[in-house]
Structure 1
């Protein structure tokens, strides 16, 4: 009887990763800020895969979140062999126009929670002959992204942190991987408050959350250092290094710069 802990598991990629793990007979510990969707996801996965699913409604930006998550998960530590730090979000807009409080919140969730939970669960994972830690980054980690600046910067941190941690734990029983998805059909664009211009571009390249979840879990169990789902996303991660940074930043800025919405554009995005 093995357990897997997944943060940001109520919907999207987190839910898809949890489903793939349940399909592989893992019982689940699911954490999310969205209580309603978390409850629905738990019911759905338990019924579909006949596994035990335990949930914790929690905002990972809270200062004492680490102690709360650890206390909740402690009864399952003797069987917890997989930890997935998936929770994260971004905000679309110019740095100076976005609330500083909100931007610090992004950093708290995308960086502080990931680092804290990794630190907390490494001793738990070490007790097993084989265990796995997956930290979610993004294809934005491979370049500067104006107007999605804080998010992309946190994901660059996540990628660098995870690769460094993988090297440090290379002689241990823990396999550490980073997942870098690109555009995915999730609620990310809504929470990031992206306009119709950016949404329309993203929609051309969207992968389904289910396909990303499958690739993520399969890559994790194969021990891959970096998991980039889809050929287009691999290309987007690889190409920027061959072009001047100012050129790459201009292209990214054109994609993510908020455009003035016409009434028709607002209607189509609603």
Structure 2
């Protein structure tokens, strides 16, 4: 059976996507920086679904990590048919109050690493009879968000990159899909440095990782270009397109200010 490579596959949405694909019979290659999480997920996948699951421990924000990942996959004598660019994180706060090194690290992981891994594996993917790329953006991609300015900009990049790549590969065997989830029950919110009040508010509207994964894989295999899971998230994204940008950005800024 075919193999899927999943970055950030040790927890959250990445783990849920691995479960969803394994349930459909796909073997998986999981990458994360926490070996304990990876071992646990791989064992679960192999025991539950009788598939093969391999893992590679790596800090995906390191320059040139795509070469090491490609070498690892080649050493297994495997060619992938699905690439899931899931790894990423967010930081909140006003620009002048944040740590520049941390912002650069986030930007590198969310944009540079995603692009580099896609570039590295594209030759493999184009050799397959049918192959897929799934990039994880966010509803934050649809508007500027004061207080999440850099994070939102990185996700706008992911969305724009995915749309363009879809057209570039239109005459190939590779299909590109971008999913833009809203708040989801992962460790993302804690890492984003939201206040306790902010976490409480977000937890009231979040989706489960498993829900996002089901929507994502259904859209991926159907060849859709772009999907926003959840009715509330769809409505928010639509309003971001419909209403004047300055109005949306002021509203977003006030909402984020309440959770910082």
User: How far apart are the structure 1 equivalents of 2:124 and 2:57?
Assistant: 22
Instruction: Give 1:244 deviation, angstroms.
Output: 2.4
Secondary structure at the counterpart of residue 80 of structure 1: coil
Conserved in 2, the CA contact under 8 Å of 1:137 and 1:181?
yes
SS of the equivalent of 2:81 reads strand
Structure 1 residue 198, shift from structure 2 partner = 2.2
DSSP-derived class of the 1:83 partner: strand
Tell me, yes or no, if the aligned pair for 1:91 and 1:103 is still in contact at 8 Å: yes
- How many residues end up aligned between the 2 structures? 260
Equivalent-residue separation in structure 2 for 1:76 and 1:28 (angstroms): 12
Match of 1:21 in 2: 21
Q: CA deviation at 1:80?
A: 1.2
8 Å Cα contact 1:30/1:55 also seen in 2? yes
Residue in 1 that maps onto 2:70: 70
SS at match of 2:127: coil
User: Is there any run of 5+ residues in structure 1 with no aligned partner, and where?
Assistant: 261-270
Give the structure 2 partner of residue 103 of structure 1: 103
1:153-178 residue CA offsets vs partner (Å, 9 max, x unmatched)? 00000000010000000010001010
In 1, are the aligned partners of 2:13 and 2:186 still within 8 Å (CA)? yes
User: Are residue 169 (structure 1) and residue 169 (structure 2) matched?
Assistant: yes
Counterparts in 2 of 1:77 and 1:195: CA distance versus 1, 3 Å: farther
TM-score computed with the length of structure 1 as normaliser: 0.93
State yes or no: 1:60 paired with 2:95. Answer: no
User: What are the equivalent positions in structure 2 for 1:67-216 lying under 5 Å apart?
Assistant: 67-76=67-76, 78-216=78-216
User: Could you tell me how far apart the structure 2 residues matched to 1:12 and 1:200 are?
Assistant: 18
Is the contact made by 2:67 and 2:120 (CA closer than 8 Å) also made in structure 1? no
- Which residue of structure 2 lines up, in the alignment, with residue 250 of structure 1? 250
* Aligned residues of 1:25 and 1:51 also touching (Cα < 8 A): yes
Q: Paired residue for 1:48?
A: 48
Q: 1:259 to 1:19 in 2, by over 3 A?
A: closer
